[in-house]
Structure formats: C-alpha cells, structure tokens
Structure 1
C-alpha cells in the first residue's frame, strides 16, 4: 500500500540545499520553454579591454556592450559587431580560429534575439558554461556577472527584456589568475569562450524552481524529497499544492506547500533500482498551477561499509576510466549529446561501469548520458594542485562551484561521488579548506559519497603508505600514483606493496604513462605503445595485491590538449596518456585494460 506522509518529515541536507542555492540556475532548464541561442555569434577580440575601460582605465559607460551604431557619417564608433568575425556557440575560441589557439584574454560575443514578451511570464538568460568570467549585458545594460568556467548560471531578465529584437552581449574573459578556481597552473587546455548552450527561458511567475527526488537512506521502499516553488500564491496558501506524478509507479500525489513555498514528501513504493546492468529511469512529472516540469530519474542507493562500496546494498568494484571534456568529433571542448555518447560508448566498450569526470564538472549532456547508459560517475570541482588555501575569497569561489555542480546534478542516479579536490599538497590550511568543502557537500546532499584524489602517500622502506590526513575526511580515498612514469621503473611496480591507515575503500584514481599512438619500440623506450603497455601490466599486478582497493580509473580514456606538453613530434601540446589517441585510435594498453576488466566483471 502506498502512502504519503505530510508531517514534519525533513531531510536536513535537502533543506540546506534548498535554502543555500535557491538563486542558482533553475532545475532542469531543458524542460522549459526556451529560445535556443546556439549558432553563430558576432565577436570582437579585445586583449586590452578597450570595450570595457576608457583610456584612464575606468569602466566606460560607452563600451562595446552598447552595440552602438553611428547615427550619422560624422559619428565616431570604433567597433562594429555586424562586420566582425563570427564564432560558434557552444564552442571554444581556441580551435575555431588559428590565431586564437593560445589566446587568453577578453572576447566580446553578440547576438540578437526576438521575443514576444508576456506580462504573466518570467524570463531568464541561461548559460550552460562560460570560461571563465562572464559579464552579461542586455539592450546596453549590465545584467550581472558570473565567475567559474564549468558550471551553469542564469540571470533574471524579466525587467530588461522587451518585445521585439533584443541585443545580448557577453564579455568573456579566460585569463588565468592566482586566486581563481582552478588557479593558474593546470594540465589541461584553458579553452575560452561560451562553451555550452545558451537559451532564453520562459516560465510562469509562479513556477517550480527546484526539486530533489530520491530513495530514502533510512527507510526501505520509500521515495522522499522536496519541491521548491518560487513566487507561490499566498492567497489561500493552505490550498496551494504541487502534484508529483511517476506513472510507471502509479504515483500521483498532491502535496501542500508550506509558508516557504516548499513541498516535502515520503512515498512508499518499490522501484526497479538503477544500476550499470539495468539503468532504469522513470518519467517524473511535477505540476504547479500553469507550470509543468518533466524529468527522467533513476533510484539507487550508495554507501560505504568498512572497505566496501555498496551499490543497492551489494559490494561493487568500480571498473573505471578518467575522462577529460575533449571532443571525439572535432577539435576542442566537448559539449554535445553526441560527444557524450561517443566518449561513454568507448568507456562501455572498454568494460567500464564507472567514469571519473575530471577535473571539473562536465556538461549536463555527459551526466544525463551516463544515467541512460548505466555508468557510475565521480564528479569533481577544479580545486586542483596549489590553490590559495589561506584565501577566504578563493574558498568562496570553490564553494560556489560546488553548490552549482550539486544543484544541477543532484537528481542524476549515475553520480555516486562528489570529489572535493585533486592532487593538493598537504598542509593545515588545505585540510581546513577541503574539510569545509566536504562538510558543505554533505549539507547540500547527504545521499552521495565524498572523495578526493590524493598524491601525498609516504614511502616507507619500499612500502607505499596512504597516510594523508584528508583521508579521514572523505568516504572514499582516491589515490593517484604514477609508478613507472614519474617514479621508479615499470618492472618495479608489480611488487610494490601498499598499506592504508584508514579502514575505508580506496580507488586508484590515476595511473598511467604517455605513448604516441603508432610509435613502437622496445618496452624500455619512452613514448612507445610498448612502454605504456608495460606500465599497465605492472601496475595492474600491483593493484591486484591491494586488498582494500575497490576500483580504479586510470589516466586517461583519450589524449587531450595541454600547454604543459610541448615536446615536438611526440606531444605537440597533447597529454599522450590516453588509451585512445586524439583521433580515437586504440593503443596497446587499451586491450590490456579491456581484458583486465572482462576478468573482473566475471569474478
């Protein structure tokens, strides 16, 4: 028998999530009426930011955002979007124009859109991602700014938008600064531009802003969650309800809103549980007055028990691979559904049930495709290497990106781990910084595991000891180790012993070696496929002796661009640690890992 509890039930983490990020991008924008603004945009390259500052380096009131046109032949206007170069959106600028390949700085983007404004509707401009600083202008007026290159954001433009043609201008700046997340030094390409889709959303003034639907962690056979309504009618407030429908589970419930516009629920039911073997997704519909939202959501549980990771109550070994957001279809940043399908199909073909999406939140297309295809996901924010851990402003930037990542993806069954950081040096400031992030993540979402990738193991008489104090904070310990490439010889790796001072599951989150696809030679010769294959053979032998290991995500599925890798005729600004070349061609190590995973899957 199904029932509905409309009592004081409250998920502490869920309420915290609602309150903390109510102003972040609307949940599931693809389910809204929208004008899609993808396509060719006018652009102006502006390395000196002349379109923003006057000659006294003061913010100008006559910048490029005005999109001015000479009123008569004597008018002085020193720019013209209409006659300027075009760039594709979504897309990075680095791979669309050869002269922009290494460019870091400001480019202005412009396009017009036409709309018939309705007084009973709200309008928002939504960006899937802009790297790194975005300043948005509509009809010559500043709307707002956003910092962070991999998470979505939206601004309410209900007051600024007008019926007819509207001029949208975005100042995009990808120059690197020490106080950013990530900071100045990374091992991936700093692709600049409007790198994911842009749309104008239209929805009722009273609308569903956010929601969270999940399996209960404490009661078997119970779905629980909440819905947040913005601008709900306070007239006859007691009668205001949200309707939740999950047709396949015969759920159709009307849930009253409280004074904060929140509807909370517990519903007894027995869904087919989502798993890599059976990635079942249910159609979930939410209705409030004139607003309707549709989603596809899977239900599963994830927890740790000692050194085991339990998926739906059963121990699981994570056969994984790390992935960068490098397109398999074209040069540059991946963003499309087809990009995601190809990358994840390669992972499935390799024998994976798990992917580490490094080192930043990947596109929503990627995580939704993982939901559909049945791949467990590690999702990460770019607290990478040596950020300024003592700087409160930097912490705020990291926390904001964490909130935006969790807000967007909290309903995705595939995501089982939120990662706080990668390869950060041990220090009290770093421990406090990442510890606070972990605490925040648990407040925002108590249903998933917390992890981080560590590379600060100690070496004691030939034994590698996992002793990073950050291990005490996370639920699952990630270990990055490049035995045979950055340290030791490949042949020495197989006999390397590991110990852990924590009774927790461990994932070998990175290992590997570079190889130029097609370059062959002796296994002792760097850069050859044979050398990489020897590293894999010996590291997999080492991994088999790690009794506490519950998964691995070697580095990496496919070669990816990196300015740290200039070696001519070998790297050419590519990190060559991929099992696939930049063209998608398999190297010898692909087959070694594939065979290993086939054996693991059969165990």
Structure 2
C-alpha cells in the first residue's frame, strides 16, 4: 500500500472519529429558544418531498464521510459513497414506515435533506428552522454545520440559522432515529406503533432581531364570581429587550395594556374586563388577542376559563362538570400514519362529538398542535400527557431532566389553549420509592410552570391483577396524594375475569378527590359477530361496555370517563392472525372508519349524563 493511500485512509478515519465524537458523545441539545404560536409568524413551509439516505448502523456516515456535509464528487477521481441528489424521496410531514413497504418496521436512522433558496435576507431579521416534532432523536444540521440535537418524539423544537442562511442553495439535513432505548421517554416497550421520521410540520421562521418569544394569558380564578374579571399575563421577548415597550390588545373587550420589559427580557401584567365571556363546551368563546413589541406582532385566539377540583367534583368556571370522554392516539387509521393536519384533527374530533364527548384523553404523548387548537374552537376539553409509561428508568436523573424538558416544551406550546384542562404525568406505572420521587419532582416542575390546570396520572388499582378475586378494590397509589384527580385504568372483563363479574365489584379511593376512569374496554373485530361471550366479537365488546359502565357508575366521586379507545390503532404487540393483524382492536371505530356496536352503547350512556 502506497504512502498516499495510507494518508487518505488515516485522514478519513480521523474525520469520521471527530464526527462521531461530536454527534454521539457531545451533549448537544436544541437551542434554548422558544417560538410559540408559529402559525402567527412570518414563515415559509418546508413541507413536501425530502430526499433521504438510510443510516443502517446509526453511524452518521457512509464510507467514512459524514452524511450531513451533503458531499458530491468534484471529479471522476473523487470518492463519495452516498448521494442525496440521486436518492428517493419521503413526504414530510409523515412517518417513513407507511410510505415505503421496505421501511415499515425500520427502527434506525434516516437522514433527510431539503434544499431551498431564500430571497431578501435582511440584517434586521433572524431566521429559525422549526420542527413540530420528529421521532425520536434528531440531529439537525444546516449548510454543513451541526446545529444541535433534540430528544423527544412529540414536542416542538427550533434552531437559529441567521448566520448560516444564504440567498441560494441552502440545504437542511436532519438525521432522525426512532431506535428505542431504556433511558428514553417512552422506554423500550410500548403498545403503539413506533412511527419514525419528521412527523409534523417544518417551517422556516423569520422574526425581527428582538421578537416576541412566548406569552401566557389566563383568567385569575379569584375573580371568577366578580363583575370585573382579571386576566393575568406574562410576556417574554428574545433579543435586546430590556426597557422595550410592548402592547397587549383584546379588541372585542376594548382592552389595551402597555407594558415595559424588564432586564430579564420579560414582564408580568394584568387586564381587567367586566364583559368577559367564559369558555366552555357549550360556549367555546375565543377572543382575538394581539401582542406587539417593536416591529414584531403576534395574534392569537384565546379562551378564558377556570378549572379546579373541589371535594369529589371537577368544577369548570365554578360549576360541576362530568367529563364525557374517550381516549385517542395521534394517528389517522384511514391513512395508517401519524395525524399531522387540520383534516386529521377535524376527523377525530368530529367522531368524538358524534359519540357525545365533551372531553378527550390525548394518549400517551403530546398530540399535534392542530387538534388542541381545534378543540378550543369546538368546545372539547383535553387531557394531555407525556409517555411516562412502561419501563421508565426512574432512578436515572438524566431521564427525569428529559421529562422536565419535554413537559416544558408542551406547556410552552399549549398554555394558552382553554381546552387543555389536565396535565397527566404517567400511565400504568407501579409505585416504588424511585418512581414516586421521580413523579413528585415532575409534579413540582409542572406546577411551577402552570398552576391553572389540574394534575393527574393514569394509575393502577391496589389489586395488581385484572380480574382479581377480591370484590372490594382500592385506589391508594401514593402519588395520588400529590395530584388533583384520582385516575385509574381497569380492564376487568377483558384481561381478567368475565364481564358479569363487574356486578359485584366496588372501588374506593383513599382520598376525597374526584375520580376519572382513564381506561377500560376490550377488543372487537369490526364485522365479526357472535354471542356476548364470544371473544373478539362486537357482541362481547358491546356487553363489556354495558357491564363496565354500570360498575363504574357506582363509584363515589366519579367525575369522568375516557374509555380505551376511539379508533383501532397500529401496534406491533398485537399480532393474532385474522383478528388483530398488527392492530389494537379496542377502538369503537375500525381502521376503516366503521362504528362498532359499543360506540352506540357509550353514545346512549353519555346522552343521559
């Protein structure tokens, strides 16, 4: 081997080694920049077809050459072992799994590339690339520079590219990995499909050098019964903000407030009105709100309401409300893909309304922003949560920090949505000292950011087994002490026992708090019929719902239900041939959009509530 050839190999190895250190060993994270309400910003959609390269070994390189540098051979002697220009395309937003048959079960890394030009770049503007979500671990690069990484498959993130953007031939390359790991959120095992890729909108956002980063507005509940109601607010600018003025306007209420930004770049304020209409499912009133500062202006539509727990009741605007709910995955079963559009949201909320719901549990992770905003308009209350689910590494301080980061991203996105009334911190987790302390720390973090909503968690009853022989069940998970609502999942009649056993069961909570049954149900293959004891039949599911509903009606303090689940959904855990075939069949609506018999049982029940 010649000296020149050896030098080339050494240089290639050194280049790969340095890249590996940067990408895989350095703790790069998304920039600590918040850009809320992106629909109101000056933005350019980067959705559409993106070129892609598969990185089967999660190495970030092919042929010892980093993929993010977008290399092309300079001449016929040059060696480059990948090509975005000649690569196939994937649609963004959308998971890669259902776009190409060969990618259906892929768990690994794909590198995406989008090229674009940007006219009229201004020195008085700042530019950001914004991702609604990408599942799960994202490495973002722009024009050959590594911007950072983001962990979490369901929350938004952005990076500034002001110093890198050009008039022509920009290339945004992002490596997305949906590989599962024990120190991720969720952990290694879930009961839903691991949709990989850029699953929500991508935007190029243009803002002034000092811009409105984020704002929180909510009704002061101490003024709920006063003629003059007070709206509490806070505002944060990004840039040279100290001393800058800002104006908050609600034209319909004839409210205008001028504020001064302090040295931290933020300020708090209050607005008073004696004409404020409260948001509710019966009257989902939203107000146009405008915030201006310098040359920046953001508009939003915000509803104002209070939500609290008092004794064994949930009070909306000071009045008891029964949460007539259903659980939902962020998936459009008709398209077999992650939900990512207003049409997807409208389809799901339309079915929920037809069912008679005023409440949805958005399980088991943050859903797309479109559904939260549409719920505001349609008057549907929401439970939102993180995927703190099976197999979480509770004793790992880094995992706790990830949970806090992801909840911060969710709260910053949805704080101003009146429909969102409950933050849930976990699902089907078993008490232990490390788990308890983890969740207590998360409760403190969430309450520190948002005291206007209720906290809950989908817990288990004390009797660990579904169908446990005891007739008197108890609800005493120690984490319930720190929550506003007692919620639990119960699958009596499906995973244990038969439906008629529901007639002799009772449930008693250890605390005087409202109770939500956060999951119950059973599978049915739409179109398969038998008698009420024939598993997988619509008849079995129909009877199970009747027995479950009668059983839960006997719970003292029952304040709501979110049965599992509105539609059948994809999951590799469910493989029974000719019945499940990769679908969890607990939906009240099939993957073809056909309603099962149990849909009408629950619909009838809710009409009486």
TM bucket by the smaller chain?
Answer: over 0.9
Offset at residue 230 of structure 1 (A)? 1.5
Partner in structure 2 of residue 538 of structure 1: 547
1:115 maps to 118
Gaps of 5+ in 1: 1-20, 55-59
**1:528 and 2:528 correspond:** no
Which of the numbers 362, 370, 373 marks the counterpart of 1:368? Answer: 373
Alpha-carbon distance, 1:456 to partner? 3.7
Query: Contact conserved, 2:333 with 2:569, CA < 8 A, in 1?
Result: no
Q: For 2:62 and 2:440, locate their aligned partners in 1 and report how far apart those are by CA, in whole Å.
A: 40
Aligned to 2:100: 97
Partner of 2:419: 414
Partner of 1:292: 297
Preserved CA contact (<8 Å) 1:376 1:416: yes
Q: CA deviation at 1:25?
A: 3.0
Q: Report what 1:321 is aligned to.
A: 326
The equivalent residue for 1:38 is 47
Q: Distance in 1 between matches of 2:572 and 2:334?
A: 21
Written as runs of structure 1 = structure 2, the 5 A alignment for 1:575-594 is: 575-594=584-603
| Alignment-derived partner of residue 341 in structure 1 | 346
Aligned to 1:223: 231
Q: What SS does the aligned partner of 2:332 have?
A: coil
Q: Is 1:494–1:540's contact at 8 Å kept on the other side of the alignment?
A: no
- The 5 A counterparts of 1:431-446 are 431-446=436-451
Deviation digits for residues 453-489 of structure 1, max 9, x if unmatched? Answer: 0014236841110111111111111110001001111
Match of 2:500 in 1: 491
The correspondence for 1:352, drawn from 357, 363, 366, is 357
1:482 is matched with: 491
Larger RCO of the pair (alpha carbons < 8 Å, separation 6+): 1
Cα RMSD between the aligned structures? 1.4
Q: From 418, 428, 450, give the equivalent of 2:433.
A: 428
CA distance, structure 1, for counterparts of residue 60 and residue 360 of structure 2: 42
Structure 2 unmatched ranges of 5 or more: 1-29
Contact 2:241 2:261 in 1 (8 A): no
Measured in 1, the distance between the counterparts of 2:266 and 2:87 equals: 48
For 1:81 and 1:310, the matched residues in 2 are separated by: 55
- Alpha-carbon separation, structure 1, partners of 2:532 and 2:87: 52
> Take 1:150 and 1:293, find their aligned partners in 2: how far apart are those partners?
24
1:569 aligned to which of 551, 567, 578:
578
Where does residue 160 of structure 1 map in the other structure?
164
Deviation track 1:127-169 (CA, whole Å, cap 9, x = no partner) reads: 0000001001111111110000000000111112222220110
Structure 2 residue 70 is matched with structure 1 residue 64:
no
Deviation at 1:259, TM superposition (A): 2.0
- Secondary structure (helix, strand or coil) at the match of 2:364 reads coil
The residue matched to 2:141 in structure 1 has which SS?
strand
| 1:125 counterpart = 2:137 | no
Matched, 1:250 2:254: yes
1:87 aligns with 2:90: yes
- Give distance in 2, aligned partners of 1:514 and 1:25: 42
SS at match of 1:349: helix
Given that 1:135 and 1:146 are in contact with CA atoms closer than 8 Å, whether structure 2 keeps it comes out as yes
TM-score (norm 2): 0.92
Partner of 2:403: 398
2:91 and 2:187 mapped to 1: Cα distance?
27
Question: In structure 2, do the counterparts of structure 1 residues 233 and 149 end up closer, same or farther at CA, with 3 Å as the change threshold?
Answer: closer
Q: Contact 1:421–1:453 (CA<8 Å) still a contact in 2?
A: yes
Contact 2:333-2:568 within 8 A present in 1 as well = no
Cα distance in 2 for residues equivalent to 1:295 and 1:110? 32
- How many residue pairs were aligned? 570
Q: Is this contact kept in 1: 2:362–2:384, CA < 8 A?
A: yes
CA distance in 2, matches of 1:187, 1:522: 28
